[in-house]
Copies of this chain bind each other. A is one copy, B any other.
């Protein structure tokens, strides 16, 4: 099991995998900045057919990356959706050409706050412009152009990945045959902004953060990032899942110790989640990507009227939510479905019964897999993919 520190400047470019650099071509960002020197790190699986009609773009969540269906070179673990994507799996790489790119602002090879600012020769840090989900998608479209793909067969993603799917469908309606936004929302809620703000404050409270210049100063705000991850991790699970997995069980002891050690399994688990996270993620990327999610409000891009985002769309939509997901509850998916219905879009919607909370979208949920396989099979037939 390899373990690289992705914080160290210049390490992420050394990660294996595909790279696409755009040199002097400038990416127009929503904040008004034209960003030069952009690089995109991505992976592909399967084979693009001659008609270039079988490409599926997978969009990853806040802390995901491009290693969706093969071993992650940093953690040594399987890809984050390897249960879903592969030969014979619901997203069948014997049939589809699957693309996944690290998002703009990320720390796995795509340009982000830990990249070198060409103007200074130093890591951007807080000098990196604040980005949006729209910016992430705009950069992905350059990759799709580069691959010579006119129209994606499908764009699929959960959580922040689902926000990107919605953005794709709204911005490039003619380039998306089918869209699968999973466990997401058309705008980030007040409660979710609040949880993100706690995470950011935890990072910024760490004196090693150095106003974002920790790379240049040789420090590492890992304690703050770890606290941010712990708080976020609770929101990815459900009360029921925590109760079932841990309850009040003690960690390797028969009685409480009357101290501040991790007496309870749930404490030990959370601390572990915090500590492994800091080995694979960059604190500034965490700030920028949570901010992009906070800013996401698709209706606001269309005069405050969500149906307008999907006017005249020919894309086939399949929305999925999970009963115990309290971060992106079913009501959020339903609001999107209502907007799609209002413009008579082709939409199906399934709420999956699960007690696993938001994280259910990453797990082997048979009913969810069945739905996704069925939807993709139907669309593939329509699209003439064998």
Provide the residues of chain B in CB contact with A260, threshold 8 Å.
126, 130, 200, 204, 287, 291
**If the complex has contacts A190-B247, A258-B129, A260-B287, are A234 and B195 also in contact, measured as CB distance less than 8 A?**
yes
Stretch at the interface among A9-17, A75-83, A225-233, A344-352: A225-233
- Most B CB within 10 A of own CB, among A187, A201, A223, A274: A201
Distance (whole angstroms) from the CB of A102 to the closest CB of chain B: 21
Query: For the complex, what is the distance from the CA of A210 to the CA of B198, rounded to whole Å?
Result: 22
Nearest residue, chain B, Cβ from A205: B223
Asked if A8 CB lies within 8 Å of chain B CBs, one says no
Q: Does A378 contact B (CB under 8 A)?
A: no
A198 to B43, CA, bound (A): 35
A61 within 8 A of B: no
Q: Does A23 contact B (CB under 8 A)?
A: no
Size of the A side of the interface (Cβ < 8 Å), in residues, is 57
| A189–B295 alpha-carbon span in the complex (Å) | 33
Docked complex Cα distance between A239 and B327 (Å): 10
Contacts of A226 in B (CB 8 A): 201, 205
- Contact B201 A248, beta carbon cutoff 8 Å: no
Q: Knowing A197-B266, A259-B130 touch, does A234 contact B191 (C-beta < 8 A)?
A: yes
Q: Give the nearest-CB partner of A131 in chain B.
A: B258
Chain B proximity mask over A217-248: 1 for CB below 8 Å, otherwise 0: 00000011011001100100101001101111
Is A343 at the interface (CB under 8 A from chain B)? no
Docked complex Cα distance between A247 and B226 (Å): 28
Let me know if A1 is at the binding interface, CB within 8 A.
Answer: no
Q: Which residue of B lies closest to A242 (CB)?
A: B190
- Greatest chain B CB density within 10 A among A32, A256, A271, A274 is at A256
**Within 8 Å of chain B (Cβ to Cβ): is A193?**
yes
Give residues 270-299 of A contacting B (CB, 8 Å).
270-271, 274, 287, 291, 294-295, 297
Inter-chain contacts of A369 with B (CB < 8 A): none
* A193 with B266: CB separation less than 8 A: yes
Q: Does A117 interact with chain B (Cβ within 8 Å)? A: no
- Given the interface pairs A227-B205, A258-B129, A291-B260, the reply to whether A234 lies near B189 with Cβ below 8 Å is no
Chain B residue nearest in CB terms to A265: B190
